[in-house]
Chain A
Amino acid sequence: MDAEKIQPLTEEQEFSINMGPQHPSTHGVLRLMLKLQGEMVREVKPQLGYIHRGIEKMCEKLTYPQTIHLTDRLDYLSAHILNESVCLAVENALEVEVPDRVKYVRTIIDELNRIASHQLWWCAFGMDLGALTTFFYGLRDREKILDIFEETCGARLLLSYNVPGGLMFDIHPNFQKRTKDFIKYFRKKLPEYDALLTGNPIMQERTKGIGYFSKEDAINFGLSGPPGRASGFSCDVRVHQPYSAYPFAKFKEILYTEGDTFHRYKVRIDEMWESMNIIEQLIDNIPEGDFAVKMKPVIKLPEGEYYQRVEAARGEFGVYIVSDGNKNPYRMKFRSPNFCNLAPLHKMSVGYKIADLVAISGSLDFVVPDMDR
Chain B
Amino acid sequence: MENNKLQELIQNFTPEAEITAGKQFLTVTVDKSRLHELAKKLKESEETQFDYLFCESAVDYNDYFMMVYHLDSTTHRHQLVLKAKITDRENPEIDSVCDLWEAANYHEREIFDLFGIRFINHPDMRKIFLDNDWVGFPLRKDYVDKVNVVER
Q: How many residues belonging to A are interface residues under a CB distance threshold of 8 Å? A: 36
Which residues from B are CB-within-8-Å of A305? 22, 24, 81
Whether B128 sits at the interface, judged by CB under 8 Å, is: yes
B51 within 8 Å of A by Cβ?
Answer: yes
A48/B101 in contact, CB under 8 A = no
**A318 within 8 Å of B (CB atoms):** yes
Of the candidates A49, A220, A309, the one whose C-beta lies within 8 Å of that of B103 is A220
Question: A222 to B52, Cβ gap below 8 A?
Answer: yes
| Nearest chain A residue, comparing its CB with the CB of B51 | A219
A322 at the interface (CB under 8 A from B): yes
Chain A 256-295 against B: per-residue CB contact (8 Å), 1 yes, 0 no? 0000000000000000000000000000000000000000
Interface size on B, residues (CB 8 A): 33
Consensus secondary structure, chain A interface: mixed
B110 — which chain A residues lie within 8 A by C-beta? Answer: 339
Contact of B106 among A49, A233, A333, A343 (CB under 8 A): A343
Q: How far is the CA of A85 from the CA of B7 in the complex (A)?
A: 29
Chain B residues with CB below 8 A from A318, complex form: 54-55, 70
A222 to B52, CA, bound (A): 6
| Residue pair B54, A61 in contact (C-beta under 8 Å) | no
Q: Does B146 sit within 8 A of A, measured CB to CB? A: no
When the two chains form the complex, which single residue of B55, B60, B129 contacts A372, counting CB atoms closer than 8 Å? B129
Given known A-B contacts A52-B129, A305-B22, A240 and B54 have beta carbons under 8 A apart = no
Compute how far the CA of A229 lies from the CA of B138 in the bound complex, rounded to whole angstroms: 35
B5 at the interface (CB under 8 A from A): no
Binding site for A on B (CB under 8 A): 22-25, 51-55, 57, 59-60, 68, 70, 74, 77, 81, 101-103, 105-106, 110, 114, 128-131, 138-139, 148-149, 152
